[in-house]
Structures are given as C-alpha cells and as structure tokens.
Amino acid sequence: MLRQISFIALLISLLVAPLLGIASEAKPFAEKHVVLQISDPNPFKQTLVLNVAGNILKHYGSDKVDVEIVAFGPGLRLLTLGNSNTKRIDALNSEGVRFSACKNTIKAFTKKLGHAPELNPVAVPVSAGVVRIMDLVDKGYILVKP
C-alpha cells in the first residue's frame, strides 16, 4: 500500500512539475523569468541593463519575477570589482537579481591583463555566458538584450 502511495505521489509530481514551470529556489513564487544579456563595450549599456532589471522588478514586484543578468565579452566589465555601478548591482542583488560571469571571458581577461580580473562578489562564474543564456532560455526564460 505504502509503495502504491509513493508511486502515485511520484507520478503526480512528475505530471505537475511542468505546470509549476521553472521556479528557481530563490524565487519560488516567480511568475516571470527573464535573462538579460550584457556583452557590449558601451558603458551606457551597463546603465541600461541595470535600469531594465530595476524596471522589471518595479513592475512585477521582486517576488513575482526572476531576473538573471549574464555578462560576457566586453560586458563582463559590469561585474569587475569597483565598477561605478557597484551600488546599484548590490541593490539589485539584494532584491534577488542574479549576476553570472562568463568563465571564458574571465580567462580572456586574465590573458590580456596578466592576472585574473577581480570580480564583484555577487558575480557567479558560469562555464560560458552564451551557454548559460541558452540553458535558461530552454528552461523558459525570456531573453532580453537591452
């Protein structure tokens, strides 16, 4: 009997899982999932991507939306330690916005600089920025590149 109940519970959970969507651990009640791409050298784009993240949170409420910013290429400068936008990054992070840093870009920066770039502690290295974006899109995230 117990075995049957367990089996039914497992079956139900498997059936319901897709309906629950892609709720992340940090944002269990999120109804929207967005990944923002920053890969541009233009400093204005740094401000823009942070503005977009802030506006999304403001519109949906920080509990109802899950936002991740993925930085790669020249856009990784957004996540270097001491960036002029650090306060805004920290504020967004405190509201649940995640920041991913491309390991390939970190390697390239290291080669050019002669040492590894110091990153903002909120930055989470991911194997490849573009792969991270593809994975998130596969999970149902909407990709926005401001």
Partner 1 sequence: MNIFKKSLCAIAVGSGILIAGQAQAVNWLMVQGTEEPGSAPRAKLWGFLQPQYERTQNDKLADGPWKGQDAAFNSIGPNLDSNSQFQLRRARIGVRGAGFPLDDKINYFFLAEFGKNGITEYGDAVELTDASVTFNHIKGVRIRVGQFKTPMSEEVYQGIALFDWINFTGYAAQQLLERHLAVDGQTPCTPNLTNAKYLEACAKGNEWEAFGAARDTGIQVFDTFVFESMQDWEFSYSAMVGNGNGLNEGDKNNNKDYYLYFSAEQVYDGKRARRNGWKTFAWYTKGTREILTSSGKGLGANYREDEFDRKRWGIGTTYRKGKIRAAAEYNKAEGMIFNGVTGGAIPGNIANNVPVTAQFNILPDEEADGWYVDFGYKVLPKIELAARYDRYNRGTKNTLDVNGIGVERKYKTLTLGAQYFFNKKTRATVNYAFRDGDGQDNNTADNILDDMGDVLSFQVTAIF
Which residues in this chain contact partner 1 in the complex, by CB under 8 A?
41-43, 46, 74, 77-78, 80, 82-86, 109, 112-113, 117
CA gyration radius for the chain?
18
Cβ neighbours around 103 below 10 Å, total = 16
CB of 33 to partner 1, least distance (A): 27
3-state secondary structure (DSSP) of residue 90: helix
Helix (H), strand (E) at residue 118: none
CA distance 93 to 120: 11
Would you say 18 or 82 has its CB closer to partner 1?
A: 82
Would you say 3 or 115 has its CB closer to partner 1?
A: 115
CB of 36 to partner 1, least distance (A): 16
Would you say 24 or 86 has its CB closer to partner 1?
A: 86
